[in-house]
Structure formats: structure tokens, C-alpha cells
Amino acid sequence: MESLIERLSDSARAGVFGPGRLLRVENNDDTGLGAQFASQIYFFRVVLEDEQSVKNVPVVVKVQIENIEDIAKENGEPYRQFLNEVNMYKTVLPELLSDQRSYPKMFLAEASGGTDITKDILVLEDLRERGYKIADDLFLDFDHMSLAMRRLGEFHGSSYRLKIDNPELMRVWRKTLLESKKQLDDSEKAFFDSAVARGFGKFLGAGKKNSGCRIAFEKLIGIPTEERLKVFCRAEEPFASIVHGDFNKNNILFKYDHRGKTEDVLFFDFATSIYSDPSIDLSFILYMNTSAAERDAHWEEYLSIYWAGLTS
């Protein structure tokens, strides 16, 4: 903790948090913290003073977790994830989303790629002070989803625009953003295998004699699960884009007006962002963050809202 405060203090003296003389760096409340598996999160307030006033800069600090070696064995090289997120905030997002409407302001970002994790750090604006927070309910309702789907469409659409305006830069980013090499355990393999079986279930049931589907199912199920997932995530042109990669409600911040109605949305935690198929983000948000009743009632509307954002 002390080393982090010292590092933030040095950054403040260097002008990272804006003009003014550093008064202090103090701990801030951690209420509203989202789930973080392979990183440690801290909240601070950087207090600066100029000739006219005192300014408080609330920040979120993300560093590598202490038992990173154990996590690395289970979670597919979190060094890659940290490096990905730093690359997204420092290089990709400022170019991709020049108006910075869709993600928190970044003050400091450094990643060693695993050579010295004590130097790995990501410092972002703490958006809770501006009224942003993670949605309370387990499933997102229509108002929340409408905002998220519109902004997701804009995010994906910016990749298509850049592929036209600067295709060479997009090719560089495609190599820069690294997919995590996660090793699946038996329960995870069983989960993905059962999902494939469920997809073919209607064609393979009792009395069904669709040999083509049987051949396709056996061929697909015979591919090792990790290899099959790589195929599902493979970037296919012309539809491939930079995707968030973990587009779950825990990584989405909403802002509400005085009546409690949603009025803005921001995304964070870009650790698993890659150049891949947009359906990765769409399927995650639609199937993991809405109820079946909500999907049945608004499926076409959600896709229309996403399309409006994509083409904007």
C-alpha cells in the first residue's frame, strides 16, 4: 500500500493528474467494487492545490495480484491480460474512440509482460464520483440493455471505420492484442461439450435419422475443446472487429438521473479484448445478462438498437 501511495505521489508531482501542488494521496472507499479475479484493486484520492482551489482526483488503481504465479497456471497467463488492458487504454481506445465517451479516463498505464510484475499498474478515473455504478439487479432490464447495446454497436462500428481509414494500424493491433491461453479443466470441458450436444439435440433425438447432422456433430465433438473454442473465436472478415471480450454487467457502468432512470453507460476491464467476432460480446450480454422473458420480448429491438449504433 505504501509503495502505491509513493508511486501515485511521484506521478502527481510529475503532473499526471493535472496542474497543482500535491497535498496528499489518501485511501478512498471501495464500495461498488466489481469482480476482479487476476488483479488487485485499490481506490485512492489524489489531492492537489493550486493558487485558487483544492482539487480532488478520485482514482482506481489496478495492479497484479500477489499470488500471480498460481493464478497464471489456472487462468491463462494473466500477464497477457494485463498487457492487453494497458495496450487498450494507452494505444487502441484513444484512436478507436477519439471522443472517449465509452471508457474511463486513463492517467497511468504500464505493463512489463511478466518480466517485473511489481511495475505493472493501471490508474483510471474513479467514475463513482460522477454517479456511475454497476447495475444492482442480476439481469438488465430494457432501459439498461438499450444503452449498452447502442454503445456496443458504436464500439464495434469504430473498428469497421478504422479498417477503411487505416487498415495497416488495424493489422498491427490484431497482432498486439493477445488471446489468453487458458487451460480448461474437466468441468469446463464438460460444460462446452454439453452446449454443443444441446445445439444438435433436436436433430439427434429418438427417431431422428438425419445422418448429415450426426456426422457434423461427431466431427465437432471430436475436436479438442480448446481447439474448438479457438475456431469459435476466430476472426472472420469482413465482420471481425476489436471486441471487449468479457462484456458482462460487472464490466459495465451506468449513470442515472434524479429519477433513477439510466442516462449514460461506460465500459471498463478490457483485459480480454482481442480482434475477433462481434458475436462474442453480443452473445455474452444477451444470454448472460438478460432473462429469457426479456429476450423474448425485446430480441428484435435489441438487435435494431445495436445496428443503429454500429452504423452511426
Residue 268 resides in a domain = yes
pLDDT of residue 289: 97
Backbone angles phi, psi at 21, to 5 degrees: -90, 135
What CATH number corresponds to the domain at position 119? 3.30.200
Task: Check whether residue 61 and residue 155 sit in a common domain.
Answer: no
75 has pLDDT over 60 = no
- CA 293/CA 7 separation, integer angstroms: 49
Residue 191 resides in a domain = no
pLDDT tens digits, 250-297: 999 999 999 999 999 999 999 999 999 999 999 999 999 999 999 999
Task: Check whether residue 14 and residue 92 sit in a common domain.
Answer: yes
Residues 6+ apart with CB under 8 A from 273: 84, 85, 88, 92, 177, 242, 243, 244, 245
Residue 200 resides in a domain = no
Residue 211 resides in a domain = no
Residue 207 resides in a domain = no
39 has pLDDT over 60 = yes
Task: For residue 84, give its domain range.
Answer: 8-128
> Based on the structure, what is the number of domains in the chain?
2
Task: Check whether residue 73 and residue 170 sit in a common domain.
Answer: no
Indicate the SS3 state at residue 156. Answer: helix
Task: Check whether residue 148 and residue 118 sit in a common domain.
Answer: no
Residues 6+ apart with CB under 8 A from 113: 79, 80, 83
pTM beyond 0.85, yes or no: yes
32 has pLDDT over 60 = no
Task: Check whether residue 80 and residue 157 sit in a common domain.
Answer: no
- % the chain with pLDDT above 90: 62
Task: Check whether residue 109 and residue 27 sit in a common domain.
Answer: yes
